[in-house]
Amino acid sequence: MSWRLGVVAGGLLIVAGAVLVGFRTYDYVENDPRFCLSCHLMESAYGRWQTSVHAKVGCHACHQQSTAAKLDQLWKYATLRPTRVSKHAEVDYTRCAACHLSRDPRWKQIADTAGHRVHFERLGLQCVGCHSKGVHVFVRPTDSCQGCHTQQVTGAGKMAAFHCTTCHDFLARDHELGAPTRAECLTCHATMQVRTERFDPKAPMQFPCQQCHEPHGRTRPTMDGCRTCHHVADFGLHAVPFHQDCQSCHEPHLWRTEARATCERCHTDRAAHHPDAPCASCHGFANPRPARTVAPPPEASS
């Protein structure tokens, strides 16, 4: 009788051990990202994932396959010995939504944000359409928008290396996705000391910067751009040839001329000429000179 109990106990131990080994194997295969390293082709992707914001998210939380698809992939790797990773375990938008539309504060929430309202809600674009370009790092490369916005390339010096979202706030909740506001531009440009520019909060032009600057075209305003608003080039001292370049007298972003100092940069010999009076008090810039009137001739006597 005792030997039977021993056999039963031994059998139960074997079964329990098999169950434990099976569970641990299943848990390793399904939940441990290190299993993906069984395929040496995944070393690069694994390394990028380890340094990404999703480093604590297991592979199968995003990449989900049926059992048949998993076995097929394993069989192909074991028998064909591929030299590159083929397309597999595609990520459906529902996997992204499980975290980023969950209202869980542990994850960045994208519901009702400016960029996602346009691209995800209205146009129905898949998350991986933009985010997969930075495979496993999830940081969008600088050219990730160019697949659709082929004409929107900035040539504005160092801005050419910026990602579009540097200026276009994708996660904004208080306004639609579009051109940056003046305040958003000044968060960088008011402190970057662009050339010798000064930004006066009381300057007369407080409209959006792109009204004069075209980040995706001509970044510096032209004379024609000034004349779309200021029709002053045909009268007064604005008509003098040397006064035709607005920025030769008007310092960008301040625009109001600083008393006599602006004029004396060119007219150096006039420093002592009525030194206490602003030049424009006598020399007309702002208004056209009145037309000269000629008295009609007296009527001939009959």
- What local confidence, expressed as pLDDT, does residue 300 receive? 42
Q: How far apart are CA 156 and CA 135, in angstroms?
A: 28
Same structural domain for residues 96 and 170? yes
Same structural domain for residues 82 and 107? no
Same structural domain for residues 167 and 243? no
Answer yes or no: are the C-beta atoms of 228 and 215 closer than 8 Å: no
Domain span holding position 123: 91-178
- What local confidence, expressed as pLDDT, does residue 141 receive? 62
Task: Mark which of 178, 197, 231 sits at the end of a domain.
Answer: 178
CB neighbourhood size of 180 (10 A): 20
Place of tokens 């160092």: 158
Same structural domain for residues 172 and 95? yes
Task: Mark which of 69, 89, 109 sits at the end of a domain.
Answer: 89
CB neighbourhood size of 212 (10 A): 19
What's the half-sphere exposure (Cβ side, CA atoms, 13 Å) at 152?
16
- What local confidence, expressed as pLDDT, does residue 99 receive? 92
Query: Is the residue at 169 inside a domain?
Result: yes
Query: Is the residue at 196 inside a domain?
Result: no
Query: Is the residue at 58 inside a domain?
Result: yes
Query: Is the residue at 299 inside a domain?
Result: no
Same structural domain for residues 81 and 16? yes
Query: Is the residue at 293 inside a domain?
Result: no
Same structural domain for residues 225 and 252? yes
Same structural domain for residues 72 and 95? no
> Which among 202, 199, 219 is positioned nearest to 211, based on CA atoms?
219
Query: Is the residue at 165 inside a domain?
Result: yes
Same structural domain for residues 247 and 228? yes
The b-or-e profile of 270-286 (16+ CB within 10 A means b, else e) is: eeeeeeeeebbeeeebe
Query: Is the residue at 121 inside a domain?
Result: yes
3-state secondary structure 180-236: CCHHHHHHHHCCCCCCCCCCCCCCCCCCCHHHCCCCCCCCCCCHHHHHCCCCCCCCH
Answer yes or no: are the C-beta atoms of 131 and 141 closer than 8 Å: no
Query: Is the residue at 42 inside a domain?
Result: yes
Same structural domain for residues 259 and 231? yes
pLDDT in 10s for each residue of the chain, 302 residues? 576 777 667 777 888 888 787 878 777 778 788 888 887 788 888 888 888 888 888 888 888 888 888 888 888 888 888 888 777 788 888 999 999 999 998 888 998 899 999 999 899 888 888 887 666 776 666 667 877 887 776 656 677 777 788 888 888 888 888 888 888 888 877 766 555 567 777 777 878 888 888 777 777 777 777 878 877 766 677 777 777 778 778 877 877 776 788 888 888 888 888 888 888 778 777 654 443 333 444 444 43
Answer yes or no: are the C-beta atoms of 89 and 65 closer than 8 Å: yes
- What local confidence, expressed as pLDDT, does residue 116 receive? 92
Q: What is the count of structural domains for the chain? A: 3
